[in-house]
Each structure stands twice: as C-alpha cells, then as structure tokens.
C-alpha cells in the first residue's frame, strides 16, 4: 500500500464516492505485503509457534521491521513480555503399526499436549461399547489390568452404533474426556476416527501423564498388535513470549488501534510445519503495510499497532494486554483486529458489527462499499471469542475483520502457505479498511 490511499479515500468521501477510485486503488502494489508474508511464512519462522521458539523469531522480525519503517515503540523496545503455559513438540515424529508406517498429519495427529513416547508397545483393542457400559468396563479392566501399564489402548470410534441420540451424546462426551483423563491407566490412547481433528496447540494447561494419538481408522491394520512410535513433547509452565506495540503520532491523541496475532501453530515435530499464511501471516503483513503508509502520510488520529502472541493457545496475549494496558483505552476511537486476510473473493466478514459502539463504523464501510462496489459482500456478525478483539471489545469499540472465500491453503493445515494465499483483492480490502482510520 502506498501513501496515496489516505488521499484517495478522502477524495472519495468528498466527491461522493466517484467510481473511478477503483482504478486508482487497483494500481497500488502488493509487493511490501507479499514480502512480509513470505518472510513470516518461511521455514526459519518454524510456524511461529512454541516449538523451536518460532514465536520469538517472528517477534524479532516484526520489531526490526517496525524500527526500519520509523514506527515509534509504544513500550520500551516494542515488547511487552509475559508468560503462559504451553506445550511444544520438537524432534522426529514417526508411527508404525505392525508393519505399516503411517504418514504424520495426513494419517495421524499427535497433539503437543500428549506425553512423549518412543519404542515398541503392545496395542490392546477396546471395543467401543465398553466405554459406555460400566459393567463391561470393569470386566475389561480386570481382565487386562496387568498389561495396560505398558500398552496403548486402541478405540475405533467409527464402529460405534448408538441406539439413540442420547446414547450417542453420552459416547461423544466419554470420548472427549479421553483427552484429559485416561481410565485405562495405559501408556497411551489411540483413537481411530473417520476424520482427524483440526490441529490446535490448546487443549490443556498441565502436563499429561499419558500419550494420545488420533489416527484415521481406515488406515489402521485390522488386527493391529504392535505400535512403534517416536515423538517428543515438552510442557512449559511459564513460556516466555511477548506482545509487540508500535505507534505513529497523529494530529490528535485519539487513537485508531490495529491488531493482529503473529503466533500460529508451530510444528508437529521436525517434519510438519504449520506456515500460517492466512492465519495470520496475512494480518501481520497487512498491519505492517498500513504502518508503512501511516509513517509517511501523517494520520489525523494517532495510529497504534498491536501484534499479539498466544492467540492460538487461547487468546493469551490479548488477555494479558487488556489486563496490563500500555495505552489509554479511553482514547481509543476504534480497534480493528485483522485475522485471516487472504483471498476474500466472497467478501468480508465483521464480528462485533452490531455493537452500538461499533455500528457507525460498520455502516460507514457499508456505505462506501455500496457506492464503490469494492467487495462483493460485507457480512455482519455478532461478537464472539474467536480472535483478539474479544477481551478488548469489553473496554473499547472493537471489531474483527476477516475475508470470506476459499483462496487460501487450508485452515490450521500445513498447506496454509504463502503461495496459496490469494492477494487479488488485497488492495481493495485494505483501502476500504483504511477508510475507518480517516
């Protein structure tokens, strides 16, 4: 984005949204955004998560970039340090059942909160009906007690046939509990599923006493007897990380605050990297682009840029930011959180769009869009705890903007790479959003 955006939008507002603006806007370039997105999703960032300190590698990159642009530090050295508890997974990851080697991520997933495991283990199959029948469970435990200690139990979820909805609900609840409680006291639990769960670093804030693997039931040998596995996780009760803040002084102290989380899922061991282009390299690169524009265009409002970590682990960074403010919340005119900004061929979605504190801004976007047809649709959503605007929205007018459509590699998937991030609409979208900062 170039500095002309502010001028272009001011003109657009004054001359009643001349349609010619589209051509002017489309002529802006995406090179700086693309450059940052490529850097943030490169191998050396390790998925910006909690394995290999990927979050801190990304933080340092953002800090250097802010300094280079001439964005002032809002706190000393741009960093607000804090800690939270999290798990990481580094080192080799492998799984072999009998003689069949399974593919990590596509055929099985190990959450980072699982306990480490390496070596050979017997597999003890648990019929799934056993789990919802106390008598059957007792019998199973009595019969297998001596061999469970050093074994992995295998439960094939896909074979369960519930008699009614209530039984299905009960079964689902018991299966869910297996991620935090091991009724077999076994070395580990393997759950066979039809579709693997979305990968996420959240799930537990304490150390686990057993290993947990989710596998595609269709890939498990029918009479699985032996497991050979290797994976290494670590629990960090006080993981050191940081939020990052910069600002550009405006003509007035009233603030427009932009935020984006820079953390992502990191890695599943050495081999699987979650690059996180859409989520949320795109948001961070957008903020840096807006920051570059703000430095040269001298904005009316003071413009603050927040880069949060800990989002993927449960909005940890933005919660800390609200509890330990580094700027005056009473001066915030609007906070705009950007999270997942690739593609957008179907338009934009705005969360917390119906809050009385934010509707005037959303209306403004809708009016501009109606006149200029910049995006196919602006969809309003009520507030949800689905990104970093959530805790702020209880203190300041805050919205969360994301793109709609499929032009990105995948959600919480290693395929969410820079190359798959569609930027055809980027200039139009960022121009529209920048109108809120005028």
Q: Does 413 bind Zn ion (CB under 5 A)?
A: no
Q: Which of 422, 419, 254 is closest to 330 using CA atoms?
A: 254
Please give the Cα distance from 40 to 88 (Å, whole number).
Answer: 19
Least distance in Å: CB of 171 to Zn ion? 31
Q: Does 297 bind Zn ion (CB under 5 A)?
A: no
Please give the Cα distance from 403 to 67 (Å, whole number).
Answer: 29
Least distance in Å: CB of 208 to Zn ion? 25
Choices 79-87, 286-294, 336-344, 393-401 (CB under 5 A): range interacting with Zn ion? 336-344
Site for Zn ion in 11-30 (CB under 5 A): none
Residue 170 CB neighbours (<10 A)? 14
SS3 61: helix
Residue with Cβ nearer Zn ion (65 or 279): 279
Please give the Cα distance from 263 to 96 (Å, whole number).
Answer: 31
Going by DSSP bridges, is the β-strand pair 226-231/94-97 parallel, antiparallel, or unpaired?
A: antiparallel
Residue with Cβ nearer Zn ion (182 or 280): 280
Q: Does 280 bind Zn ion (CB under 5 A)?
A: yes
Q: Does 263 bind Zn ion (CB under 5 A)?
A: no
Q: Does 279 bind Zn ion (CB under 5 A)?
A: yes
Among 90, 263, 339, 416, binds Zn ion (CB under 5 A): 339
Query: Site map for Zn ion, 221-260, x if CB under 5 A?
Result: ----------------------------------------
Please give the Cα distance from 43 to 273 (Å, whole number).
Answer: 8
Please give the Cα distance from 427 to 433 (Å, whole number).
Answer: 10
Please give the Cα distance from 297 to 408 (Å, whole number).
Answer: 31
Residue with Cβ nearer Zn ion (122 or 410): 410
Please give the Cα distance from 235 to 326 (Å, whole number).
Answer: 29
Please give the Cα distance from 318 to 159 (Å, whole number).
Answer: 42
Least distance in Å: CB of 48 to Zn ion? 11
Residue with Cβ nearer Zn ion (65 or 263): 263
Least distance in Å: CB of 398 to Zn ion? 16
Residue with Cβ nearer Zn ion (63 or 278): 278
The residues of the shown chain that bind Zn ion, judged by CB under 5 A, are 279-280, 339
């Amino acid at each position: 984005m170039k500095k002309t955006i502010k001028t272009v939008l001011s003109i657009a507002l004054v001359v009643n949204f001349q349609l010619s603006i589209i051509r002017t806007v489309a002529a802006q370039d995406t090179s700086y955004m693309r450059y940052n997105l490529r850097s943030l999703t490169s191998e050396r960032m390790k998925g910006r998560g909690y394995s290999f300190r990927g979050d801190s590698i990304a933080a340092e990159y953002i800090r250097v970039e802010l300094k280079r642009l001439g964005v002032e530090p809002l706190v000393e050295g741009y960093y607000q340090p804090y800690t939270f508890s999290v798990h990481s997974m580094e080192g080799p990851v492998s799984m072999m059942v009998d003689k069949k080697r399974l593919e990590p991520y596509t055929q099985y997933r190990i959450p980072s909160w699982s306990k480490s495991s390496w070596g050979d283990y017997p597999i003890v199959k648990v019929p799934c009906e056993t789990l919802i029948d106390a008598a059957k469970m007792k019998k199973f435990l009595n019969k297998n007690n001596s061999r469970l200690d050093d074994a992995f139990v295998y439960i094939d979820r896909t074979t369960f046939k519930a008699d009614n909805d209530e039984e299905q609900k009960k079964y689902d609840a018991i299966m869910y509990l297996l991620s935090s409680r091991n009724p077999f006291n076994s070395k580990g639990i393997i759950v066979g599923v039809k579709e693997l769960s979305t990968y996420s670093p959240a799930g537990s804030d304490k150390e686990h006493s057993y290993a947990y693997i989710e596998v595609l039931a269709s890939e498990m040998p029918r009479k699985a007897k032996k497991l050979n596995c290797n994976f290494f996780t670590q629990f960090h009760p006080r993981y050191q990380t940081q939020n990052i803040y910069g600002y550009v002084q405006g003509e007035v102290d009233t603030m427009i605050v932009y935020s984006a989380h820079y953390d992502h899922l990191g890695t599943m061991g050495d081999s699987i990297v979650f690059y996180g282009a859409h989520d949320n390299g795109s948001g961070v690169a957008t903020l840096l682009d807006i920051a570059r524009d703000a430095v040269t265009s001298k904005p009316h409002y003071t413009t603050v840029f927040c880069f949060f970590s800990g989002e993927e682990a449960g909005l940890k960074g933005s919660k800390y930011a609200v509890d330990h403010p580094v700027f005056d919340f009473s001066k915030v005119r609007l906070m705009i959180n950007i999270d997942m900004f690739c593609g957008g061929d179907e338009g934009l979605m705005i969360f917390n769009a119906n809050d009385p504190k934010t509707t005037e801004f959303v209306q403004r976007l809708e009016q501009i869009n109606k006149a200029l047809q910049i995006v196919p649709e602006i969809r309003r959503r009520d507030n949800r705890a689905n990104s970093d605007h959530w805790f702020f929205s209880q203190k300041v007018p805050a919205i969360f903007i994301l793109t709609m459509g499929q032009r990105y590699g995948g959600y919480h998937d290693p395929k969410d790479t820079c190359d798959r991030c569609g930027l055809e609409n980027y200039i139009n979208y960022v121009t529209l959003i920048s109108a809120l900062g005028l």
